[in-house]
Structure 1
Amino acid sequence: MLEIEKIHHVAVICADYERSKQFYCHTLGFKLVAEYYRADRQSWKADLAINGDYQIELFSFPQPPARPTQPEACGLRHLAFRVQDLDFSVTQLTAAGVKYEAVRVDPYTGKRFTFFNDPDGLPLELYEERA
């Protein structure tokens, strides 16, 4: 068996690189760690981190195909972020003009969560786990 320690990063392809970079950095609070233009692929790549931990690779490609369905397309269903205070987090989403689903409670853990979308419709989740 492999000895995997943790998830290193999640790669996200976006349709509008600047719009998505703004969303992930300014709306969600990721820090831009590195940014590269790959001329041979006409593609931007950004490395984004939360609390100093590298989390997301944000890619742009010319005319990427749209996600076929949401959220049950084969492949990544959604990307979840742990938060300490879900009420504060949804207040911040509201202030940024981001629409989110009604807060629900996980029937298995009793923890609260909500879903919302990035600018390309990728389903994202905020999952509350208080310390």
Structure 2
Amino acid sequence: MMKFCWTTLRVSDFDKSLRFYRDLIGLPVAECSSHGGASIAMLGPEDGPKIELLYEADAPLQGQGDGISLGFEVGDLSYATKKMADHGYPLRRGPISPHPHIRFSFFSDPDGYEVQLVENLN
């Protein structure tokens, strides 16, 4: 069996993306480095899968994010939605409640990657 380790997101503004995932989403920074025109941050719990933010000065982004959606569980979807909007990330769609025990909403990160915030209503 394989163990999932990380997902790499190529980003256009390293600091803005780092603030989004660290400060708004709440992922801890496990590792951060810069070298040779590249900046890399690994975010996520120590013993769990990570999101790798990758900025490369000499490799401009083109059409990334199509079909990618990252899901994060939140304790209070209404609060999280307001926090996202207050920081300039408006609701894209939702909230959606496919059954009585869950609801979720969609946002875009600084590079247009879809971010899904999920509240379990158990």
Q: Normalising by structure 2, what TM-score?
A: 0.80
1:10 counterpart SS class: strand
Structure 1 residue aligned with 2:111: 120
Cα 1:130–1:106, aligned 2, differ >3 Å: closer, same or farther? closer
* Whole-angstrom distance in 1 between the partners of 2:16 and 2:109: 10
CA positional deviation for 1:49: 1.5
Runs of 4+ with deviation above 3 angstroms: 50-54
Structure 2 residue aligned with 1:18: 15
Cα 1:66–1:92, aligned 2, differ >3 Å: closer, same or farther? same
Identical amino acids, percent of aligned pairs: 23
* Whole-angstrom distance in 2 between the partners of 1:120 and 1:44: 16
Give the partner amino acid of 2:90: K
* Whole-angstrom distance in 1 between the partners of 2:93 and 2:113: 17
- C-alpha offsets along residues 47-89 of structure 1, whole Å, 9 cap, x if unaligned? 1125864421110012432226x7xx3xx42111122221121
Structure 1 residue aligned with 2:50: 55
For structure 1, the 5+ residue unaligned runs are none
Greater strand fraction, Structure 1 or Structure 2? 2
Q: Does 1:29 align with 2:26?
A: yes
Preserved contact between residue 92 and residue 108 of structure 2 (Cα < 8 Å): no
Q: Alignment RMSD, CA only?
A: 2.4
* Whole-angstrom distance in 1 between the partners of 2:86 and 2:95: 20
CA positional deviation for 1:18: 1.2
* Whole-angstrom distance in 1 between the partners of 2:27 and 2:115: 14
1:120 counterpart SS class: coil
For structure 2, the 5+ residue unaligned runs are none
Q: Normalising by structure 1, what TM-score?
A: 0.76
